[in-house]
């Protein structure tokens, strides 16, 4: 029977702990090394994308300089995108859409020519709408009213001829529609013709 002295047991324990800690240190070092290599690779990829477009000199730059150049390039691109969006909005008239709707509402109050005609044939409904280009919101309001009255819109089209917009909306009533639905729709749409 072998006896291990207290000092011998402690020595074995120390060897075990030191081998355990050295392996965990090696694991941590490997993980850190891999992380740094991954970051280097990502920085390299980023700089290669930016370098071709932003840099004109052929010299190799330090990593902080490369990151700064990439950051500046991205900021410049963001500013350019913002300017292009503003230009697009101006060209499409998005900035004026709210003011033009307000102007149209004012004109409606001043008896501006908005014409709405409602025709029914059996369960089918045809709404013809003539508005100015600034009064496009009337079209969406007509669609909303039709849906509220349980009319299913299956076709909507428009054309613009020398100023006014001509809209034609075809709908049909579901089974849940009331008998006087056409009258109610015509009454609700009449508020746009004032």
- pTM of the predicted model as reported, rounded to 2 decimal places: 0.42
In a domain, residue 155? The reply is yes
- CA 87 from chain centre, in angstroms, equals 18
What's the total number of domains in the chain? 2
Q: Are residues 74 and 143 in the same domain?
A: no
Q: For the segment 123-136, what is each residue's pLDDT rounded down to a tens digit?
A: 788 988 888 777 77
pLDDT score for 68:
85
pLDDT score for 110:
46
pLDDT score for 63:
79
CATH code assigned at 67: 4.10.280
pLDDT score for 48:
80
- Choose the final residue of a domain: 60, 90, 120: 90
Reduced to 3 states, what is the DSSP secondary structure of residue 153?
Answer: strand
Sign of CA dihedral 79, 80, 86, 89: negative
In a domain, residue 1? The reply is no
Q: Are 142 and 129 in contact (CB under 8 A)?
A: yes
Residue numbers of the domain that contains 143: 104-190
Helices (H) and strands (E) in the chain, counts: 5, 4
In a domain, residue 95? The reply is no
Q: Are residues 140 and 182 in the same domain?
A: yes
pLDDT score for 34:
94
In a domain, residue 138? The reply is yes
Mean pLDDT over each residue of the chain, to the nearest integer: 76
In a domain, residue 98? The reply is no
Q: What is the mean pLDDT of residues 38-56?
A: 75
Number of other CB atoms surrounding residue 126 within 10 Å? 14
Reduced to 3 states, what is the DSSP secondary structure of residue 15?
Answer: helix
Q: What is the mean pLDDT of residues 77-94?
A: 83
Share of the chain above pLDDT 70, in %: 69
Q: Residue 23, class by beta-carbon neighbours within 10 Å (0-12 exposed, 13-18 middle, 19+ buried)? A: exposed
């Amino acid at each position: 029977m072998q006896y291990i002295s207290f000092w011998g047991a402690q020595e074995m324990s120390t060897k075990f702990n030191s081998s355990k800690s050295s392996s965990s240190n090696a694991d941590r070092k490997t993980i850190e090394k891999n992380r740094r290599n991954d970051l280097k690779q990502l920085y390299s990829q980023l700089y290669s994308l930016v370098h071709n477009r932003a840099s004109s000199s052929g010299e190799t730059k330090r990593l902080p300089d490369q990151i700064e150049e990439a950051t500046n390039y991205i900021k410049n691109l963001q500013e350019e995108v913002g300017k292009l969006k503003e230009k697009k909005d101006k060209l499409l008239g998005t900035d004026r859409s709210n003011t033009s709707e307000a102007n149209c509402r004012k004109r409606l109050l001043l008896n501006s020519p908005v014409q709405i005609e409602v025709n029914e044939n059996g369960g089918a409904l045809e709404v013809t709408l003539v508005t100015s280009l600034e009064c496009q919101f009337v079209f969406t309001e007509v669609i909303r009213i039709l849906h509220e009255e349980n009319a299913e819109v299956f076709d909507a089209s428009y054309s613009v001829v020398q100023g006014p917009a001509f809209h034609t909306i075809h709908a049909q009533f579901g089974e849940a529609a009331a008998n006087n639905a056409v009258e109610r729709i015509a009454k609700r749409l009449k508020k746009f013709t004032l």
